[in-house]
Amino acid sequence: MPLLKRLPRPVGLLAVLVLALVLVIGCAALPSLENREPSWALPQDQARETRIGRSASEPLAAHPGLAGIHPLPNAREAFATRVLMAQMADRTLDVQYYIWRADTTGLLLLDALIQAADRGVRVRLLLDDMNTAGLDPLLRAADAHPNLDLRLFNPFVVRSARWMGFVSDFSRLNRRMHNKSFTADNLISVVGGRNVGDEYFGATEDVLFSDLDVMVAGEVVSEVSSDFDRYWGSASSYPAELILGAASQVDRDHLDDAIREVRQTERARDYLRAVERSDFVREVRESDLQLEWARTRVFSDAPGKGLGYVEEDGLLSSQLSETIGPVNRQFNLVSPYFIPTETGVAALRRMTERGIRVRVLTNSLSATDVAIVHSGYARYREDLLEAGIELYEMKPLPEHAEMARTIDSVGASATSLHAKTFEVDGNWVFVGSYNFDPRSNDLNTELGFLIESPNLARQLVATFDETVPKLAYRVRLDDDGDLYWTSETDDGTERWDTEPGTGWFKRFSVGFFSLLPIEGLL
């Protein structure tokens, strides 16, 4: 190795060591799936005999062919929904997430799954392995429960020094399962943008996310369950024990202690009291929850996308475009990580040239939690504005918390936008995990509902008309083609000529990253 010979001795030794580690890790193969035990969702005819099935039978019979929809913009209601579903389930819980934190709400929700398993409910938990660092003892212990089966999607073989896994197996590990679903007895499901963690459920004073899920009841849930089965049985889903090893008593004690300790904290008690007092919980328990009845379809990427094996017709984006068809009147988009690419800008420009009104809400630089992604979006702002797109950027909102809690469609109740939804022609509404960026389109797997509901569409349009101008900056171009930002206030209109609420270094960093050829990874 002549190159190593030319390096100084300490550097050469370090390079040899790193190379040896990479080679060793590269040789660490994933285990065989040959003896993996198959399982499938509970058939809906059996699900109708559960408590959920009996309570839902009358309203479902009164709305044949339709799904009962309840949007969940409120973070605490979104948490309460999942806990109540776990408590009400009699036969099965199928749960699929990109992120599951070991924080207050993450441990409380894991405890709800374990309690369901204690009652004899079969729990299948499918987690993407990207964000499980440090959780192996807890995951091993949960998987050891006889009624709880845990699988990891695209797992890291070596559990420490994960960056080495990226070096040796980047093509696979760069593809992640971004889907989020929580399904009880194959009759009720929650799908949307939220992961599991305090920042998604309003249980932290740090970074909070404005997000949106929908709870859906009815026959369409069988499509969610079938999709879960596809992922559960895919070539990317590995039984946890094959990756993590068997649980020890120390692991079990660690999980029990973690759950007990979090339940004893003042934060958890205050949070649970607030959830328990919510109107939502009362309405559910009194069977008084209002539902929107609408035709609803599930859209999902084929799980083979996690290994790069999927045709164009297996992509969520292609399926949505084919179903919705051409946009005729209006398109309102909410996307926290919006990177339209040149192709997307051209498509939006063709809309506006046909007289279609296009409005986009994304995060401002001061509100985003991923500044490098903002760099991928920022380079297209001038092109978008020149094409006639109305562009809004969400403000960081701690000072607007009370106002933000009143938003029903977008669910802005925090500091950073995380909801992924759009409205088309006053008729269609999509809610799911899909971001309008290259990663969602080309690398990660995604999931969402397409709902045919003029009523829900009107709510999202009204949010853009009435609320977005108050909670977001409007981005514009001046006569010289330079960007500026405006905001509506009680005293009139305020203007900025640089990105509001940011320092020069953050703006410089975003500008620098926008020059790098990394768009396909964002």
**Residues identified as active-site:** 178, 180, 185, 418, 420, 425
Give the pairing of strands 92-97 and 122-128.
parallel
Residue 75 backbone class (left: φ over 0; alpha: ψ -120 to 50; beta: rest): alpha
Longest dimension (CA), the chain: 79
C-alpha–C-alpha distance, residues 357 and 99, integer Å: 35
Give the torsion sign (CA, 51, 53, 56, 59): negative
Facing residues of 449 across strands?
Answer: 298, 431
C-alpha–C-alpha distance, residues 471 and 346, integer Å: 28
DSSP string, 97-139: ES-B-SSHHHHHHHHHHHHHHHTT-EEEEEEESTT-TT-HHHH
**Type of residue at 294:** A
C-alpha–C-alpha distance, residues 462 and 72, integer Å: 17
Q: How far apart are the first and last CA of the chain?
A: 35
Distance between alpha carbon 62 and the CA centroid of its chain, in Å?
A: 32
Residues 272 and 198 sit within 8 Å (Cβ to Cβ): no
Burial class from Cβ neighbours inside 10 Å (0-12, 13-18, 19+) for residue 353 reads: exposed
